[in-house]
Structure 1
């Protein structure tokens, strides 16, 4: 209960109250209400009290009147309510002046009221709030205990904190970059716009604290000697301030534990990048200003043009497991391609490129580059390629084209992902610096068709006799067929690469024709078989 709430209470309004000073301190919390008519109440106070009095015992001496007010302020009183008429027609000017200096609100009641009605009303409200705080505290305890058992990540903790606080919550690192956020119904442009600059204006401090300039409530995250971030309630909470403080402190503790489980703050930041890239993948129709604000809060430089790029290892270490993917295409847990993502992020930093980087699909890392100033698409791609060429990991790169907005660049990530996956499955040899959709031909078409059951059925139907024959006899005819088709039917070239004699090759090709019941001299047959083999490759990758 605040002084302002007491002032607005019907029991107080019945006395026609007038606020005489310290209007900026009406937000002070009232712990209890005392009725006192002595000349020295300070010894009875322990802080947080609102005093009700008629000043009947107050001396006439102005010095003693000033001392009375100073003693109240020094004892921690939060307000003085004076009923006029019994001792004074108005509160003495020296008392009002002293109270203004001490920032102690003084309220004059111009009509007689029963103090007991005020104390009953305020104390009932205090008890109700304490009960509500206890209930809320139990909910918070249950929620964060559950998080501790289940090993929740930073984003899940921030999401729950925002839901319970009823306002936006932002987790930032020591560089004032956002690593997780939940908007609680607000817009990203409202909450995250120019976040780093605004956050730097908030002075450092200890413990949970409020910043009146921004209207934020903040708590440090991490141990006293190892603070690594700040958790911010970036708006007016839907719960009283004591509850909001308690929630924020408990959330900060949970985040500190979550960081230990996630190893370091870099993994928390990686999740934030992954979340935003997931939103960008499905961003058609989204608000450009909101996305730019969110990206800027994560450290992406402001730009008028953006470019989508994807990188894929030539031989992915982990096979795709679509059952583990979320609805946005991102894995819920630590991503197996995070090492590749860190390599790409480091390369972007080396190339002095501002980028959002994260795994976007199994075996593929996506990046959105900000083309700042006069930086051209060609220059940005060349700098990134040269930085990545120093990586020991064999990989392919795919790019789309520069775009005038994040929404368009984000939608290009889907195309770049398909291109990168298809390129990673292509035969080795000299590869371009970046693959484009035009470079991957029929393989790209099959990639775009994805898991279409008709493609799978076609490939099985075309190749099943050979697959069954190889399984029974260990003949390896499918691989011979693949090499034959890739050589364009050139037996001489195939003999050189396979280290088999022409006679042996002709014998195996006749076996293939016999098993399939088809002639390899027929162009349509060769095309169908080649498409089936490519479809098998794409499905396996």
Structure 2
């Protein structure tokens, strides 16, 4: 009788939209990938858990990926559709890790690109897929997961404005990656606050996103107006307001570059 009532309660809970309890496999994958990315536990000690989670680890090439704003279940489904061995798990509220395990004679870069291309065909998909270089040693996987997450974080704020490849890698993020690594330096923080002071203290909150898009698109006014759904004259007025607030000329390369670096640092600190 007690078991029947428990089953009825579970059915009612699901009917009312209660959150489904993660399966053992999902919990195992999340625990494993979180510990790998965190680095607190040596990777070698996590090998038995990787095998238990069903990840092939002998004579393999590992491709760490980080996907922003995507459901781990959908990522797992795409892996199965493509026949790619791997694990998926949410690392943070907005980042899911994917760890591919490939045979050494497979093309790791091509398969990562294939995974991203297939993901983009899913309804509503448009997530940023970031990848670290393939790792042939299990001990190097933690650094790879952190690298992939770093790449994903570096481009998220301006992903729509940037001309990104299907899979973003460290070499694709250029200055953004460097600034993100230096974001906690007090000198960098002071520089960002000083350069952006006129906007950070101002009441017009919509000016900062416009500036971000304008600089991310390489000062392309048509593209910026399109992305913000405003007319060209309206954009010109906002750019004039931005320049007046900051006391800069955004047509001057050096001044625009200085403001861009400050904005990248500000965004990195906020993230």
2:183–2:265 contact (8 Å) kept in structure 1: no
Secondary structure in 2 matching 1:401: coil
Partner Cα distance (1:398, 1:355) in 2? 16
Change (3 A) 1:518 1:389: closer
Quote how far apart the aligned CAs of 1:448 are. 2.8
Partner Cα distance (1:395, 1:428) in 2? 10
RMSD of aligned C-alpha atoms? 3.5
Quote how far apart the aligned CAs of 1:371 are. 0.9
Partner Cα distance (2:193, 2:264) in 1? 12
TM-score (norm 2): 0.75
1:412 aligns with 2:144: yes
* Aligned counterpart in structure 2 of residue 438 of structure 1, from 171, 186, 189: 171
C-alpha deviations, 1:396-436, integer Å up to 9, x for none? 11112222222212221000001112233234265422100
Partner Cα distance (2:241, 2:43) in 1? 60
1:485 aligns with 2:215: yes
Change (3 A) 1:436 1:379: closer
* Aligned counterpart in structure 1 of residue 65 of structure 2, from 309, 334, 340: 309
Change (3 A) 1:298 1:440: same
Paired residue for 2:121?
390
Instruction: Give 1:118-129 correspondences, 5 Å limit.
Output: none
Secondary structure in 1 matching 2:128: strand
1:528 aligns with 2:262: no
2:117–2:166 contact (8 Å) kept in structure 1: no
Instruction: Give 1:422-501 correspondences, 5 Å limit.
Output: 422-428=154-160, 431-469=164-202, 471=203, 474=204, 476-482=206-212, 484-486=214-216, 488-489=218-219, 498-501=230-233
More strand by share: 1
Larger Rg: 1
Change (3 A) 1:481 1:367: closer
**Highest relative contact order (Cα 8 Å, sep 6+), 1 or 2?**
2
1:459–1:533 contact (8 Å) kept in structure 2: yes
Moved over 6 A (4+): 490-497
What are the ranges of 5 or more consecutive residues in structure 1 without an aligned counterpart?
1-222, 227-260, 314-338
1:277–1:360 contact (8 Å) kept in structure 2: yes
Partner Cα distance (1:279, 1:475) in 2? 38
Quote how far apart the aligned CAs of 1:277 are. 1.3
Quote how far apart the aligned CAs of 1:478 are. 3.8
1:513–1:519 contact (8 Å) kept in structure 2: yes
C-alpha deviations, 1:430-484, integer Å up to 9, x for none? 5422100011122222333355554443322211223333x0xx48544554455
Aligned residues: 252
Quote how far apart the aligned CAs of 1:366 are. 0.8
Change (3 A) 1:284 1:431: same
Change (3 A) 1:526 1:302: closer
Change (3 A) 1:499 1:395: same
Secondary structure in 1 matching 2:155: helix
2:62–2:136 contact (8 Å) kept in structure 1: yes
Partner Cα distance (1:395, 1:492) in 2? 24
Partner Cα distance (1:262, 1:492) in 2? 44
2:207–2:238 contact (8 Å) kept in structure 1: yes
1:342 aligns with 2:98: no
More helix by share: 2
1:451–1:539 contact (8 Å) kept in structure 2: yes
Change (3 A) 1:271 1:399: same
What are the ranges of 5 or more consecutive residues in structure 2 without an aligned counterpart?
7-17
TM-score (norm 1): 0.41
